[in-house]
Chains A and B, each alone.
Chain A
Amino acid sequence: MSIIHVRNLTHEYGRHVALRDVSFDIEAGSVYALLGPNGSGKTTLLQILMGLLPPTSGRVNVLNTSAAALTSAHRARMGYVAEGVRLPSSMTLAQLEKYVAPLYPTWDNALAKALRDRFQLDESRRIRTLSRGEHMKAAMLCALAPRPELLIMDEPFTGMDAVVKDDLVRGVLEMSGREGWTVVIASHDLAELELLADWVGFLHNGRLQLHEPMESVRSRYRWLEVITSSREAQLPRAKPIEWVWSESAGPRVRVLLAEPDEELLRRRAGEWFPDAQRVELHDASLRDVFVALTRQGHAGRGAVGALETGTDHRSQQTPAGAA
């Protein structure tokens, strides 16, 4: 069942189009990683999902309600953490908790205390005295302690050290698995996202370029490393459709491919590089995919193209190259 349902979403800031005809669904209980370079529209999309921004056009349903019509009762089931959001600076953490807790019938004091201990936050400190990372932890505490059905996080790991980040990721994973939370997270911490997410979306220039399960991404994207006998490797004249990104240095060629079939790839590698001396295939990390997609700018159209017609996204694991 979709907890988030977006169709033909467009958002404009004056003449600037931040989101263009975006469509996707997110299933309840999934952890969705939203990737994209700076200015790609991630924050705008998350703010629209929270009902903080009205969409210029399109349909956005969250918790089976139009995002623009979310009530306090809906928000009581949601949590939101975003970099840059300012908590009331003159409050102490204890006052902040005291203010927020009554708003959420599901507020868990024990969880709040556990998070405070884990984040090493002193409840007597005023918000304005917190460092940037501690500020984010306080915001995270307020978002997590109500045990939200839907947690939306925009760059939540900003300023956090590796240990806390790791703890948090594990905690969210555990909660999501145990209590069925749906998590939508935009972050540049790709290593954490790779651990956390079971679905990935990639926004570029306001367009959703990729939207598929993490497993599919892991299996579909891989590096092809070839050493040729020539002093300068010769690349195919026409860029093969499976190629997402390529780089070469002397006889060495490195290509990020969007094709899960390893046998097929090895066969095709022979066709692309007749003078290959060595051909190796490696798994690509989420970071590799993100960087390559960002550089390429328009990869994976096929994966999303079918989605835009309204087909269930779980069946949309079509390799980009097959489109």
Chain B
Amino acid sequence: MSDSMPWMRQVWHVFAKDVLRHKWMLMLFVVHAFAGTMGGTQMLYAPVDSLSLLLLFFSLPITAAVLAAMVVLDDSPASATAWWPTLALSRQAVFAAKLLFVVGLIPLVLVVAMIALHLSLGVSIVNAIEYSLLGVRTSVLMLIVAIAVAALVKDLRAFVLAGVLLLVGLYFLLNLLMVESDAALEQLVRFTPNAYSLVLILVTGLLILATSHVYRKRSRSWYRTAAVLLLVPGLLMVQIKAAAATVRPDTNDTTDVLGQATLETELRRNVSGLQRGSELLTRVQLKGLAPDVQAALHLPGIRILGGESCRNAITLGEPFSVLHSPALPIPGDRVKWRGATPNVTYSANSLYSRTWGPYSNVSETCTLLPRAELHLRQPRVLGSVPLTIGATITRDGYRVVLLGANGRGAANQSRFSERGLVTTGELSSLPDYRGTLVSARTPLSYVLLHSGLREAVELEPTNNGSYARRGPVSQVVLNLAPRRAGSGDSMNFPESRAEMHQRLGFQTEGELDNWLRGAELLVFEWKLLAVIDLEPGTIGALHGRTDSMIGSIR
């Protein structure tokens, strides 16, 4: 028997052919990758046309997916008229060559572009490589999905159609899963970092195996197609759901964190003053928590079954409410928070209580399933800078640059724009960085601190949605308005300047101006210490009772 080309050489041979064949598209992608990534820098330093930069940035994964599909479809396992299976080529070698191109070469371009960006921002080469590799994980997973889909279709048009259908289907699936109660899925997404990695590796591995099987058999039997079609949304779901979920610490031992703290809850019903339906009110009391720990009540498990109003209620995102705000980790006396929610004294770290009722539009037929989480976090100050343009904080992979005013802010931003302090750029990589499709990192927190008066105002990033968190560089516009208790999302709350001043506790705008002149920007991140499940049993164990914190409304 004559010897054929060795397996590894076959892989390289097909890979080289693909590179040669798609060299123009590849060059275009390289240009796009650098322009799209470096575009983030432009967004930092000048109020340029952000829309085109965003388009450039967001079109990058689409270009990558199309390039991946073209490479796969070149030697399509699905096409009945494909020529390559008749050649003296191992099918697995062809698949390996496609993998090498799609999850090797394409991400390499992205990594190099990101390293260049990091280096241009003054990050060390070691850190630049580390952050870039972390940042490219999402792209790799998405490209594996692209390979799997492309392996099932006959041409590029079918690939685009399949991609659109997949996204639409996923949207409805996610909506369905969010609206309908699915305890199993809810359990699945309560990831620790290790569990998340395991699930991701498992699903990704299975998807690669299924695609490899499609190559080997070169036929789309129903079960192969079904396997890929189940695994692709599965992988995306793991990413999306995990992005939305909290990455929990691996240890469940909360004894040290909780100390002698106790949590008490009391279910109330209050229908007074409501136009329709019922408002669910729960009184939550947390006692004895360490002063430097933040406690926030999250309701990730809330599933509201019922009418349209319920559906609307949960699309606002995961609600949370800060129960206990820690003292800022700065030397000296405690700081007084300005403009905080009435009845909350942030500087007092022992007894603290507030009522919670985020769903004023819940109709009578809705059912709230009993699950809530208590997130305990500790702030870590990254640095503070005076309110001057160009001031920079660099620490552990973060690089925060205060930029010029964009002058386009709403009323509650204008005070900052007059002082040239609206935009803030971030360059970050947190330890719990997950590189998911939706969220690249946990957003930072910003506080204006007046050291002389020992007063602080928490700033709300108004564009901390998914795009601002994505990628190595993001832009954040800060609002003077403090974060609203009871809402964790980034909705804008139109507010007049006068109202804003009043809410921050200033009598006049001039008073606010004076205050700002003596203030500095404090940037800090939150380290998640523990997540405590507040099932009815847990609550009972915490405070000796077994009443249900959240129950049905009739």
Contact = CB atoms under 8 A, between A and B. Distances in A.
B83 A54 contact: no
Contact of A99 (B2, B17, B86, B93): B17
A80 B86 contact: yes
Contacts of A51: 85
Given A53-B219, A54-B219, A103-B13, A73 B83 contact: no
Contact of A50 (B2, B86, B90): B86
Most buried by A among B1, B82, B87, B88: B88
Interface in B12-60: 13, 17, 20-21
B86 A85 contact: yes
Contact of A85 (B1, B83, B89, B217): B83
Interface stretch (B3-11, B100-108, B349-357): B3-11
Contact of B2 (A53, A76, A80, A102): A76
Given A73-B2, A85-B83, A86-B81, A104 B88 contact: yes
A72 B90 contact: yes
Q: Specify the main secondary structure of chain A where it touches its partner.
A: loop
Nearest to B3: A105
Given A52-B218, A53-B219, A54-B217, A73 B86 contact: no
Contact of A77 (B2, B89, B217): B2
A88 B21 contact: yes
A90 B21 contact: yes
Interface string B216-229: 01110000000000
Contacts of B90: 71-72
Given A80-B86, A105-B3, A88 B218 contact: no
A247 B82 CA distance: 44
A76 B88 contact: yes
A114 interface: no
B86 A75 contact: yes
Interface in B385-425: none
A100 interface: yes
A240 interface: no
A104 to B, nearest CB: 6
B74 interface: yes
Contact of A86 (B13, B83, B93): B83
A200 B218 CA distance: 30
A315 interface: no
B74 A73 contact: no
Nearest to B85: A52
A106 interface: yes
Contacts of B17: 99
Contact of A72 (B10, B21, B79, B217): B10
A87 interface: yes
Interface residues of A, number: 32
A105 B2 contact: yes
A88 B84 CA distance: 9
A144 B81 CA distance: 19
Nearest to A51: B85
A208 B219 CA distance: 25
B219 A100 contact: no
B219 A73 contact: no
Given A54-B217, A90-B21, A72 B5 contact: yes
A73 B1 contact: yes
Contact of A75 (B3, B21, B74, B88): B88
Interface in B66-83: 74, 79, 81-83
Interface string B86-127: 111110010000000000000000000000000000000000
A53 B1 CA distance: 23
Contact of B4 (A72, A82, A84): A72
A72 B87 CA distance: 8
Contact of A73 (B79, B88, B218): B88
Given A54-B217, A85-B81, A88-B21, A103 B87 contact: yes
Contacts of A52: 85-86, 218
A73 B217 contact: no
Contacts of B86: 50, 52, 75, 80, 82, 85
A72 B218 CA distance: 15
Interface string A90-102: 1100010001101
Interface in A36-52: 50-52
A229 B374 CA distance: 110
Contact of A100 (B20, B82, B87): B87
Contacts of A73: 1-4, 88
Contacts of A146: 88
Contacts of A106: 2
B88 A87 contact: no
A51 B218 CA distance: 10
19 contacts: A52-B86, A54-B219, A72-B4, A72-B89, A73-B1, A73-B3, A75-B87, A76-B4, A80-B86, A85-B81, A85-B82, A86-B83, A88-B21, A88-B83, A90-B21, A91-B21, A103-B4, A105-B2, A105-B3
Given A73-B2, A73-B88, 5 more contacts: A51-B85, A52-B85, A76-B88, A77-B1, A104-B4
Q: What are the nearest 5 A-B pairs in CB distance?
A: A76-B88, A80-B86, A76-B4, A75-B88, A72-B4
